Amino acid sequence: MLRRRLVPYFLLGPGTIWLVLFFLVPMYFMAELALRSGTVLTGFQFSWEWSNFSDALSENNEQVVRSFYYSGVATLVALLIAYPLAYAIALRAGRWRVLLLFAVIAPFFTTYLIRTIAWKTILYDSGPIVDAFQFLQLIPDDGRLLATQWAVIAGLTYNFLPFMILPIYASIERLDLRMIEAAKDLYASSRQAFLKVTLPLTAPGIVAGVLLTFIPAFGDYVNPLVLGGTNQSMIGNRIQVLYLNEGNYPEAAALSFLMMALILALVVVYIRFAGTEAFMGEEVEET
Amino acid sequence: MTDARTGRTRTLAIALAALVAALVIAACGDSDTVGGGSDEDVQTAKGGKASGSVTISNWPGYIDPGKNGTVNEFEEKTGISLEYIEDVNDNNQFFGKMKPLLDQGQSGGRSMFVVTDWMAKQMHDLGYLQDIDYADVPTVEKNISDIARESVADPGRKFTIPWQSGLTGLWVDTKKAPGIRSINDLFDPKYKGKVTFLLEMRDTVPMVMMADGVDPETASKQDWLDAIDKINKATDSGQVRRWTGNEYTEDLTAGNAVASIGWSGDASLIGNPNAEWRKPTEGCTIFTDSMVIPVGAPNSPAALEWADFAYQPEVAADLAAYITYFTPVDGAKEVLQKSDPASANNPLIFPSEKFLEGCVAQPEPPGGPEDVQEVTDAFADATTG
Amino acid sequence: MIAWLRRNGLMVYAGLAVAYMLIPIVVIAVFSFGETPKDKLNFTLGGGFTLEYWQHAFKIEELNDSFRTSIKLATFSTLISTAVGTLMAIALVRYQFRGRRLSNLLIVLPMATPEIVLGAALLSMFVNLSVFDLGFQTLLIAHVMFSISFVVVVVRSRLIGFDRRIEEAAADLGATPVQTFRYVTMPLVAPGILAAALLAFALSIDDFVISNFNSGGTVTFPLYVYGVALRGIPVQVNVLATMLFLLTVAAIGLVLWQQRRAERLAAVAAEEKVVPGPVPAAPTPLGG
């Protein structure tokens, strides 16, 4: 009897220990680092330096706002692109389904960096895409796509699209189609059926997708680095510069914590607002 | 619903409490200093008979590769097995990566690496490097050129052996921007969004100062900060398209930039036939990348043997012809006159004194560590829009 | 025409969207066939078509080493994180115990933390403790750490949709718990575990940010690309990336083909058997 009660702890054990040791403990060290002061050359002393946090925020508020803006737009666009695609794959694709799904994940296997550099190759100033945009007057004749915010946002959208597609797909795939049939039997139009049945039932997938896209996008620094110019840096770039170029470890750590706190706050608000427990995995089967 | 909410709140409360407790314990416990270098005495690298295997880190593109390359030649001649890693891409990034190791007196298996002189000085000040006795490297002592022997960062060359030197100047697309001859031309609104600057502070800021008539070698901290201010404005306005390390070559190749502050030896990386390196009218900076031996080097005799090997004129000639930067080794030019006259007469590989007129070695910002940090921070802030 | 579009519009859109997703891959592959003067990418295709980079795909030692390192790292990371994560998922889905909520939080947190924070934090710890050498060890630790959460989420979603009555049926028919697990549970959960493993593998091979902070002297494939990106990317990088892509296509294709076969066999078997309760939903490849 006792053994049965202990089973879950044994199962959880290895993973929990790993996460505690290599996630929580580092977080503690980073918190400790955020409260130190000094320079690389003179060393860092622990001194309850709360000003690191306020400095981090005040010196980098431009990047904070910009990160919100870029990742917000990218997430929205990704959602708009992903939902119809996921819908098509789940419900309309038939025998092409597996192939399409695979095509969605395939980009994953070519290394994040190379994908982004490929976009740099495609969007370069004298290239065909820029020429086409100039021809269509979408950008001025001496305009460019790289080193602008649009390139960065496009890069973010592209790179995190699979994270948006897969949860939504999973959610749609699990739909009990009989619900939609029932709605139609009750004289709902296709549009009404979609808005009032499909959409709400696939909400958990949307919530998961939005979170899985927004969060990494918010902290990304590769896209601004490769596709952006001087005025497109995001929080991630600042943290990297603070850490590696300036050697200002305390402020880098403080900024990282601020970023985490912002994200957690957003997540809590969002989940509360979207009102679903499914993402946190609260549901358990009846045994 | 209430259950879930209180449950979650309780969870977060526990987590926060744990974190605060841990921090309090840390504060009451050791208040040791993280970083700041070691206080131990600086050792001198061991020389002597070399054997075994050795690992060396260098910048990419600083060695002629392949079967006939210098590494293979070295291994055959000496019997030492050399692992040559090209993982130094940027001084600051390499420093950031190595610092945790060097603080503990370790070098991650490396017996030698190559960094720019100013970074070597910074590392030496932190106690991360061993001294080098030139008696252990007789070929270096014999063949090192007079120019290379002088150094602002390491007077008398106590802990560095130069690997290659180069000039920082202007790379210009002569078809699209033929008129660019001075750093100040880069600030011309005509080229807005089409120019790139170097992230290397000790190249960019002195050159901006020189263009405004300030002598970098005697400049005050305020002069540096003023130049950084000018740079900041250009960055914010979008005049500068990007701040780059080596990747300005990409932008020139792809036509994204018409002019860049860049390094003289990068011709082979720029796929744009119209691109040409120009010395700015007001002068240029000279940088030197040097070999250093870190603390905890497992096999410093072998590393010193490598340095010695690279200073033989024939070897240096091969390197110079491939790398296209200028070599600190006397005698290399003569070797090339016979086998590769084009390289021998290339002013970027063997610049004459006249060519170097007005060029200064990379200066350091004046003042103590806090002043240098202030300038560094200001520059870093200016370069990230 | 309009009617056709009305009916198939969604699929046309899907096709376009998917094409958009594959554009960079096509570009990467195309540029691997382009001749360049110094054998480094120069963003134009002016040089003409050549197979030389494919013929000499393994010429650059550092590139090969970094590739091997990445594959090795990803394999180990996948094995460990999939095993550990699956166990955790089972515990979370099938058992009620104290600390469930806390465990849930612990698993979700790494996913909510941007990579740069994870990387920097890990580095702070390794620097302070100096128990582990910065290098392969620390990379493995880091990769397993961020993969566990994803594995748990994927396997868990698969387990939740799992009809327990099949297991009960097996028990009714005299199977021991171990047999039930081996012959009933595992095969049906396997696709989810496989999907999780694939995800973990992809995350590891792809990882750049965390590896950048914690690699010491070890060079993984993304780190190598980052390094050479500053001084000219050898065309072989594109060749290897394309190869990796094609290999994964083949691997996934194989897995799915096996899957299809298993499904077909199960469907045939199900038709012939009498099962209490409704027929279970056919397993889908991605834990849906």
Kindly state whether residue A207 falls inside one of the protein's structural domains: yes
> B351 or B119: whose pLDDT is higher?
B119
Inform me whether the C-beta atom of residue C112 falls under 8 Å from chain B C-beta atoms.
no
Is B173 found in the same domain as B114?
no
Pair (B160, B208) in one structural domain: no
Interface of A with B in 172-201 (CB under 8 A): none
Domain shared by B173 and B77, yes or no: no
Q: Is residue C283 part of a domain?
A: no
- Tens of pLDDT, residue by residue over A75-114, are 999 999 999 898 888 887 777 777 788 788 878 777 888 8
The reply to whether C79 touches chain A by the CB within 8 Å rule is: no
CA-based end-to-end distance of chain B: 46
> Does the residue B39 lie in any domain?
no
Instruction: Assess B105–C contact: CB distance below 8 Å, yes or no.
Output: no
Q: Are residues B230 and B369 in the same domain?
A: yes
Nearest to A231 by CA among B238, B248, B204: B238
Contact status of C126 with chain B (Cβ, < 8 Å): yes
Residues B181 and B276 in one domain: yes
- Classify residue C42: in a domain, yes or no: no
**Spatial distance between the Cα atoms of C143 and C135, rounded to a whole number of angstroms:** 12
What's residue C277's pLDDT? 46
Give pLDDT, residue A77.
94
**What is the interface size between A and B, counted as CB pairs within 8 Å?**
121
Please answer yes or no on whether B256 and A125 come within 8 Å at the CB atom: yes
* pLDDT single digits (tens) B313-334: 999 998 888 888 888 998 888 8
Residue C104 covered by a domain: yes
pTM: 0.80
CATH code at C235? 1.10.3720.10
By residue range, what is the domain housing residue C155? 59-272
Locus of tokens 């011709």? B267
Asked whether residue B221 falls in the same domain as residue B252, the answer is yes
Number of structural domains in chain C: 1
pLDDT at site A34? 83
Residue C186 lies in a domain: yes
Q: What is the DSSP letter of C57?
A: T
Question: Using one digit for the tens of pLDDT, what is the confidence trace for B202-224?
Answer: 999 999 999 998 888 888 999 99
- Do C126 and A21 touch, CB atoms closer than 8 A? no
What is the model's pLDDT at position C114?
A: 76
Chain B within 8 Å of A245 (Cβ-Cβ)? yes
Q: In terms of C-beta density within 10 A (0-12 exposed, 13-18 middle, 19 or more buried), how is residue C13 classed?
A: middle
Q: Which residues of C touch B109 (CB under 8 A)?
A: 217
- Say if A150 is an interface residue toward chain B (CB within 8 Å): no
Q: Residue B59: its chain C contacts at CB < 8 A?
A: 231
Q: Taking Cα atoms as reference points, which of B73, B82, B72 lies closest to residue B50? A: B82
How many CB atoms within 10 Å of residue A271? 17
Helix (H) or strand (E) holding B112: strand B112-116
Q: How many independent structural domains does chain A possess?
A: 1
- Name residue B120's amino acid: A
Could you write out the DSSP letters of every residue in C117-139?
HHHHHHHHHHHHH--SPTTHHHH
Residue A284 domain-assigned?
A: no
| CATH number of the CATH domain containing A222 | 1.10.3720.10
Question: Which other chains touch chain B, taking contact as 3+ CB pairs less than 8 Å apart?
Answer: A, C
Q: Domain for residue B37, yes or no?
A: no
Return the residue of C nearest to A108 by Cα. C202
Domain count, chain B: 2
CA distance A220 to A216: 6
Q: Which pLDDT tens digit goes with each residue over A139-181?
A: 777 778 888 888 899 999 999 998 888 888 878 877 778 888 8
Residues of A (130-189) whose Cβ lies below 8 Å from C:
158, 161-162, 166, 169-170, 173-174
User: Residue B1, Cβ neighbours under 10 Å: how many?
Assistant: 7
Same domain, B120 and B187: no
Lowest mean pLDDT among A18-27, A59-68, B161-170, C263-272: C263-272
Q: Would you say residue B35 lies in a domain?
A: no
Under an 8 A CB cutoff, do A41 and B193 touch? no
Classify residue B42: in a domain, yes or no: no
d(CA A103, CA A93): 13
State pLDDT tens for residues B234-261: 888 888 888 887 778 888 888 888 999 9
Retrieve residue C55's tokens: 């013929």
Residues in chain C: 288
Quote the tokens at residue A104: 């969605």
Structure confidence by residue, pLDDT tens digits, A4-43: 677 778 888 888 888 888 888 888 888 888 888 776 666 6
Residues B187 and B231 reside in one and the same domain? yes
In a domain, A18, yes or no: no
Chain C interface, mutation test: which of B10, B250, B252, B289, most C Cβ atoms within 10 Å? B250
- The one-letter amino acid code at B303 reads A
Looking up residue B193, the CATH number of its domain turns out to be 3.40.190.10
Q: Which positions in chain C touch B90 (Cβ < 8 Å)?
A: 230
pLDDT at B168: 92
Residue B134 Cα, gap to closest chain C Cα (Å): 28
Is it the case that residue B340 has pLDDT exceeding 80?
Answer: yes
Alpha-carbon distance of B41 to A83, in angstroms, equals 64
Q: Give the gap in angstroms from C-alpha A31 to the nearest C-alpha of chain B.
A: 8
Distance between first and last Cα of chain A: 16
As a whole number of angstroms, the distance between CA C250 and CA A138 comes to: 40
Q: Are residues B154 and B171 in the same domain?
A: no
Check CB contact under 8 Å for A245 and B93.
Answer: yes
For chain C, which residues score pLDDT lower than 50? 274-277, 279-288
Q: If DSSP codes are grouped into helix, strand and coil, which group holds residue C42?
A: coil
Q: How far is CA B243 from CA B239, B248, B260, B372, in A?
A: 11, 8, 10, 21
In a domain, C268, yes or no: yes
Q: What pLDDT, on a 0 to 100 scale, did the predictor assign at position C275?
A: 44
Range of the domain at B64: 53-165+287-360
Domain that holds residue A130: 66-276
Check: CB of residue B349 under 8 Å from CB of residue B343: yes
B23: pLDDT confidence band, cut at 50, 70 and 90? low
For the record, the structure tokens of B220 come out as 């005050």
Q: Is C114 on the interface with B (CB under 8 A)?
A: no
Residue C278 domain flag? no
Inside any domain, residue C202: yes
Pairs of residues, one from chain A and one from chain C, whose beta carbons lie less than 8 Å apart:
257
C122 interface with A at CB cutoff 8 Å: yes
